[in-house]
Chains A and B, each alone.
Chain A
Amino acid sequence: MALPGKAVVFVDLANDRTKRMSDRLAYLIMIVSVPILWVLAKLITGFPDFLLPPPDMVADVLWTERELLASHTWTTIVEALTGYAVANAIAIALSISFLYLPWMESLALPWTVIIKNVPFVTIASILIIILGDTPLPKIIIVVLITFFPILANVTKGLKSADPVLLDRMQTLDSSQWEVFTKVRWPSALPYYIAAHEIAFTGSIIGAVVAEWLFARKGLGYLIVQSMSQYRADRVWAVTIVASALAVGAYLLVKAIEKYLFRWQVQDLT
């Protein structure tokens, strides 16, 4: 499937039909198990409803407060997507510059190390002090969290182009643009998609955490507010919404991946 001697992050698509079936079954079992475990936990611990609300109570919150939840969810989505778009644009532009200007990579390396390793919660606090209650600190946090995996993967992907193909392109006197569009970018694509798997979900987590620190809108804010009011039922409801959002993002990436690389699983006819 992959080229020999390369650590390609090629898509792990289950080829075998029975494996696909059992994978789906596993998801189903998990979805059914969650409320059962939940009810069991309540029975065993005996926590009262205001500490550990039962599933039906949380379901009730999800329904009756749906408009409130939806408006805060929307804020979070907008912040996450804006930040994610910015992160993608910067990371891809930088990866391409690394390919053609090696000194750029040397120059950028210390910065990327800093961005990757400085605890973002402290940076978030600093940003909130400076920028206050605006969407900007949340967007910047999302960028800081999601930027690095995209940069690392696309950079590696662009450099993973098969040297034999590059030689062939050279003997055909192809332009740099053709080399990029026909060889470099297709080689980087599996790496880029693999980055989305990590980073797209990360964008939602980043936005929620940034709101959680300081905000007047968004799912993170709703958690803080609900906690201060001892509304465990609503905290649970927000948790479910945020999780659904993150899992949805992941599944979306998986679906795109499956569509883009559908040729990999095509059987010999």
Chain B
Amino acid sequence: MRRAELPLRRVPSSGIRRSASHPKDSQLTIEFSQVNKSFGGIEALREVSLTVKDGEFITLIGPSGCGKTTMLRIAAGLEEPSGGEVRVNGDTPKNACRQHQVGVAFQRPALLASRTALRNVSMTLEITGRDGALSPDELLTDFGLGEFHHHYPHQLSGGMKQRVNIAAALVHDPAILLLDEPFGALDELTREAMGEWLGAVLSRSTKTVIFVTHSVEEATILSDRVVVLSARPGRIAEIIEVGLPRPRSRASRTDEDFLREVARVRTSLYRAVELSN
């Protein structure tokens, strides 16, 4: 399982860092205020208010149908709220996309079957232009895919495909990263390794991340705050600050503190599930 270890070995100077195109003085925030969303009479979100701070890693967790994906899609400008609004740095999500500030990755990798890993990543730059961008070459190598630049998606494992997918979401160096269950389709061990890998990748950057997952452990090890949602309609049940020092690694998964935090999140999740029924 070379793919589990490689990415953590080196941190190149060209790594993922906030580049000059995102000046530090502007404090980036994503603000949900009183967001409602219904799909044909079905209420998906009710009065969701949340402020995501600059550089924060936020996880949305909750029973299925709680609207966590909808929240993410609204933040990405892919859905319009039925009521309330979402502001990214005081602007609409669509404008944030226009300024190439947003990177998204979904559970199913958004890769073109007829492009190699490298060309799938550079497709992002073909669209956004190369200003302030990272090198697709170096990024893939950094992600432990050095030997797989010229492989097609069908020749890669699920974990590798997802890393190419996240590289494609990161390569234009957006300030915001929106991840919708990126590891949901992977087996348990790969998933753990990928979670650890993502944590390491993001620890070297100051990106603001909204992450959707079903896994309590994944949420706990990666997040600054875990937002627990309840379903029907989707609303915020509780927000939990994860009190674990960084950097966190796989070793922390057996830590007592970690297990205590996991228990906190899980308890809250159970309460949210009860609230949903």
Q: Report which A residues bind B (CB closer than 8 A).
A: 1-4, 162, 164-165, 167-174, 178, 182-183, 186, 189, 263-264, 266, 268
Residue from A4, A167, A189 having most chain B Cβ neighbours under 10 A: A167
Q: Is the CB of B114 within 8 A of A186?
A: yes
Instruction: Answer whether residue B149 sits at the interface, using C-beta atoms and an 8 A cutoff.
Output: no
Cα distance A170–B76 in the bound complex, in angstroms: 9
Known: A263-B114, A266-B152. A182 touches B126 (CB 8 A): yes
26 residue pairs A–B, Cβ–Cβ below 8 Å: A1-B154, A162-B108, A164-B106, A164-B109, A165-B111, A165-B112, A167-B104, A167-B106, A167-B110, A169-B127, A171-B104, A171-B178, A172-B97, A172-B100, A172-B127, A173-B100, A173-B128, A182-B112, A182-B123, A182-B126, A182-B127, A183-B112, A186-B112, A263-B114, A264-B152, A266-B152
Q: Which residue of B lies closest to A2 (CB)?
A: B113
Q: Is the CB of A268 within 8 A of B110?
A: no
Known: A164-B108, A263-B152. A178 touches B127 (CB 8 A): yes
Q: Is the CB of A172 within 8 A of B124?
A: yes
Instruction: Answer whether residue B98 sits at the interface, using C-beta atoms and an 8 A cutoff.
Output: yes
Instruction: Answer whether residue B84 sits at the interface, using C-beta atoms and an 8 A cutoff.
Output: no
* Nearest CB in chain A: distance from B177 CB, A: 11
Cα distance A268–B155 in the bound complex, in angstroms: 6
3 tightest A-B CB contacts, nearest first: A168-B110, A164-B110, A174-B127
Q: Report which of A2, A173, A264 forms a contact with B98, defined as CB distance below 8 A.
A: A173
Q: Which residue of A lies closest to B125 (CB)?
A: A172
**CB contact list, B141-177 vs A, under 8 A:** 151-152, 154-155, 168-169, 172
Which residues on the B side are within 8 Å of A173 (C-beta)? 97-98, 100, 127-128
Which residues on the A side are within 8 Å of B11 (C-beta)? none
Which residues on the B side are within 8 Å of A170 (C-beta)? 77-78, 97
Q: Which residue of B lies closest to A183 (CB)?
A: B112
* Nearest CB in chain A: distance from B39 CB, A: 16
Q: Is the CB of B128 within 8 A of A172?
A: yes
Which residues on the A side are within 8 Å of B265 (C-beta)? none
Which residues on the B side are within 8 Å of A186 (C-beta)? 112, 114
Known: A172-B127, A174-B127. A165 touches B78 (CB 8 A): no
Instruction: Answer whether residue B102 sits at the interface, using C-beta atoms and an 8 A cutoff.
Output: yes
Known: A174-B127, A264-B154. A168 touches B104 (CB 8 A): yes
